[in-house]
């Protein structure tokens, strides 16, 4: 914006600044050498930190899935090929699962959980911290003045 500087009266391009608790329109010269603190967006961004916590739910396959599958199958007196038939998978899939060479997909794990009555999936909650977008943060003139005060202390 163009106008008269509130501090030195010069007609020039002006910026908004906080000077001793008031918001004034001042020139670049006054911002650089005077008491005025330019209201910069970066300062506001730093200030607007109310953080939102989002919870993310992650399903993971247990680490010892191979021993759990094998143990459950053997306790049911089933051969690998029997289990494969029961859950409509290839025998080689069961073999690879039990030898730990193949981590089951969530779908497959759920199928195995249901049939073998075991637990293969753990649910982890992840807390994600989101910074609130500057445009959504409500900053009042009071916040700005306090900001300026903090800077001088």
Q: Give me the residues that bind Zn ion (CB under 5 A), please.
A: 5, 7-8, 27, 30
Taking the least distance from each CB to Zn ion, the nearer of 8 and 76 is 8
Phi and psi at 51, nearest 5°, equal -100, 140
Q: How far is the CB of 33 from Zn ion (least distance, A)?
A: 9
Taking the least distance from each CB to Zn ion, the nearer of 5 and 116 is 5
Paired strand residues for 11: 4
Q: How far is the CB of 134 from Zn ion (least distance, A)?
A: 28
Q: How far is the CB of 36 from Zn ion (least distance, A)?
A: 8
Copy the structure tokens of residue 15. Answer: 């910026």
**Long-range contact list for 146-153, CB < 8 A, 24+ apart?**
147/18, 147/43, 147/47, 148/18, 148/21, 148/37, 149/21, 151/37
Taking the least distance from each CB to Zn ion, the nearer of 9 and 142 is 9
Taking the least distance from each CB to Zn ion, the nearer of 7 and 69 is 7
Q: How far is the CB of 44 from Zn ion (least distance, A)?
A: 23
Distance of alpha carbon 35 from alpha carbon 55, whole angstroms: 44
């Amino acid at each position: 914006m163009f106008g008269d500087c509130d501090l030195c009266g010069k007609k020039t391009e002006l910026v908004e600044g906080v000077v001793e608790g008031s918001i004034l329109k001042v020139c670049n010269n006054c911002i650089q050498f005077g008491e005025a603190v330019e209201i910069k967006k970066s300062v506001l961004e730093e200030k607007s930190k109310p953080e939102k916590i989002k919870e993310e739910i992650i399903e993971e396959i247990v680490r010892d899935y191979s021993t759990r599958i094998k143990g459950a199958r053997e306790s049911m007196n089933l051969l690998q090929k029997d289990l494969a038939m029961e859950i409509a998978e290839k025998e080689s899939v069961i073999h690879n699962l039990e030898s730990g060479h193949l981590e089951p997909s969530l779908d497959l794990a759920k199928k195995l959980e249901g049939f073998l009555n075991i637990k293969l999936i753990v649910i982890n909650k992840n807390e994600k911290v989101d910074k609130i977008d500057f445009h959504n943060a409500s900053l009042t003139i009071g916040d700005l003045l306090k900001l300026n005060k903090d800077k001088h202390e």
